[in-house]
Amino acid sequence: MRSLFNAARTGIREIRVHKMRSVLSFMAIAVGSVVFIDSFAAIFSTYDRLQKQKEVSGIARLKITQDYNQTSADPDQYTPPPVITYDDAVSLKSKLPGLYMVSPEFQSWRNTLEFEGKRVVTTLAGVTPEWAKRDFVYTLKGRFLDWHDVENKLRVCVLVRKAVPPPTNELNKTRMKQWDYTAAFDVLVSHSDMLGKTIKLDDVTFTVIGILEELPASRAPDIILPQNRDYKVLAPVTTLAHYGFIDEENDSMDLSVDAGDENNFGESLKLVENFLKIRFGGDESFLIDNQMEMIKDAIDASIKASLVTISLGMLAFLAGGIGIMNVTLATVFARTKEIGIRRAVGASRGDIMLQFIVEAAMLGLIGGVLGSVLGYVWGVPVKEMLGLGRSPIKLWMPAVSVLIATFTAFVFAIYPAWVAASLKPADALRTE
C-alpha cells in the first residue's frame, strides 16, 4: 500500500511538472469518454422512448387502409377497392373479442365551422370511444364521446385545442403557415369558451361536449413513431354517416387495431387477415401497416447508429492509450538515471513497474473524469440550448467511462513499465 501511495504521489508531481504533455495525453481519453457517454445515452433514450410507446401508443398495432395501388391503371378496367364501413369494425370486434382496440376512423377535409357568427375552415374526424384507448396525449375538459352518443347518432362533438408549437426556425414557420389552412380554427378554439355551446359544421348543428387540450412540447411523450395527431373536431362516426358527412357506399374508413399483448400480435394479425379474406374475398385490396415491425426497424437503426458512434469512441480511447504509451516510453528513457538510482537503493522491478503504471493510470483517470464532465455538459445544457433534446445520462455512464479510461491507460502502460523494470541498474546509472 505504501508503494502504491508513493507511486501516486510521484505521478501527481510528474503531471504538475509536465503540464502540457499531461494535457495532451489525457485529451484523447476525454474525447473517448464524451463519445461513449453520448452513445450509451442515445441507446437508453431509444429504450425509454420504447417504454413510452408501450404506455401511450402500444406496440402490437396495425392499421388497415384501402390500397389504390392494387387497382388497374387502365381507366376502362378501373375497380375501386372495397369500402370499410362502421359495421365492418363492429363485426371485426365481435368476431375477435380478444383485441384490445378496434377503432374505425373517417377523415373529412375542409369543413366549415360556424360559432357566434365566425366561420372558419376545419377538418372533421368520425370516431368511436375506442379512439381514446391509444395516443391519448391530451387533457380533457368536459367529457369524451361515449357509446350512447355513437349508438343514438347524437350531434355532439369534441374540439381539439392546439398546443403552442415548439421553437423552430423561420423556414419551418413559413412552411407551417403555407400549409396550415386551419390556423383560424386554432385561434378561434384557443380564444373562445366553446364548451357546452352549439356550433355548426357544414350547416348541421352540434353541441360541444368536450375540449381536448394538446400537451405542450415539454410534456408531450417522446415516442419512436408518433402518430398523426392533427385532429380538429371529433364526432361520432355514426352521426357523420347519418347526416351525410360520410357516403357509406363510397367513403371507406381506416381501422386501427391493437392486439394489446405484443406476444399475441402474430396470431392477431393472421386473424385480421382471415377476416378481410372472408369479408371482402381477400386482403389484396388493403394495406396493413405493421407498427411492431416499424418500431423494431426504428430501434435497430438507432442502435446501429449508436454502435457506430461507440466504435468511434473506442477508437478515441485506443488513440489516447497509444498516446499514453508513447509518453510513458519517452518518460522512461528520460528518467533512466532515476530508475538506476532507485534500483541501486533497493527498489524491486515490481516497484518500478508500479510507479509507471500508476502514473499512466492517473492520466487515464483524469482524462476519464474530464471527459465525463464534458459529456454531461454536452448532453444536457448544450443540447438543450441547441434544441436537440437532453440526453438521458445515467449515473453509471460516467462511472463506467472513467473505469474504461483508467483501464485503457493501465493496459497501454504495461509495456513501457516492463521496459523500465528491465533496465539493469549499472547500465541505467551510466546513462547521462
Cell matching residue 426:
549499472
Whether the per-residue pLDDT at 336 is higher than 80: the answer is no
Average model confidence (pLDDT) across the chain? 82
CB 268 within 8 A of CB 257: yes
> Does residue 313 have a pLDDT over 90?
no
pLDDT at 74: 60
Whether 61 shows a pLDDT value over 80: the answer reads: yes
271 pLDDT higher than 60: yes
In this predicted structure, the answer to whether residue 1 has a pLDDT above a threshold of 90 is no
> Cβ neighbours of residue 87 under 8 Å, at least 6 residues apart?
none
The DSSP-derived string for 326-373 is: HHHHHHHHHTHHHHHHHHHTT--HHHHHHHHHHHHHHHHHHHHHHHHH
Task: Taking residues 335-356, report their average pLDDT.
Answer: 76
343-348 LR contacts (CB < 8 Å, sep 24+): 343/423, 343/425, 343/428, 344/425, 344/429
Name the CA radius of gyration of the chain, rounded.
33
Who has greater pLDDT, 426 or 330? 330
Question: For residue 10, is pLDDT > 80?
Answer: no
pLDDT value of residue 17: 60
pLDDT above 60: residue 429:
no
Cell numbers describing residue 310: 461507440
State mean pLDDT over 84-113.
92
Confidence band, pLDDT 50/70/90 cuts, at residue 412: confident
Q: pLDDT class for 255, splitting at 50, 70, 90? A: very high
3-state secondary structure of 247: coil
The pLDDT value given to residue 401:
87
Q: How confident is the model at residue 123 (pLDDT cuts 50, 70, 90)?
A: very high
**16-55: b (≥16 Cβ within 10 Å) or e:** eeeeeebeebbbbbbbbbbbbbbbbbbbbbbeebbeebee
Helix, strand, coil fractions of the chain, as percent rounded to 5? 55, 15, 25
Q: In angstroms, how far is CA 153 from the centroid of its own chain?
A: 40
Give yes or no for a contact between 277 and 111, defined as CB atoms under 8 angstroms apart. no
User: Has residue 253 got a pLDDT over 60?
Assistant: yes
Rounded mean pLDDT, 108-131: 94
- Residue 209's pLDDT is 97
Query: How many of the other CB atoms lie within 10 Å of CB of 100?
Result: 17
DSSP one-letter string for 210-237: EEEEEPPTTTS---SS-------EEEEH
pLDDT at 396 over 90: no
pLDDT at 56 over 80: yes
Strand partners, 119: 114
Tell me, rounded to whole angstroms, the distance of Cα 83 from its chain centroid. Answer: 36
What is d(CA 79, CA 67) in angstroms, rounded to the nearest whole number?
A: 12
Once rounded to an integer, what is the mean pLDDT over residues 358-369? 84
Residue 415: CB atoms within 10 A of its CB come to 13
Q: Determine phi and psi for 389, rounding to 5 degrees.
A: 85, 130
Beta bridge partners of 64: 255, 288
276-284 contact pairs (CB < 8 A, 24+): 276/64, 279/88, 279/91, 280/82, 284/67, 284/70
The pLDDT of residue 236 is: 97
Helix or strand (DSSP H, E) at 4? helix 2-17
pLDDT at 88 > cutoff 80: yes
Q: What is the pLDDT of residue 75?
A: 63
Other C-beta atoms closer than 10 Å to the C-beta of 399 total: 12
70 in Cβ contact with 81 (< 8 Å): yes
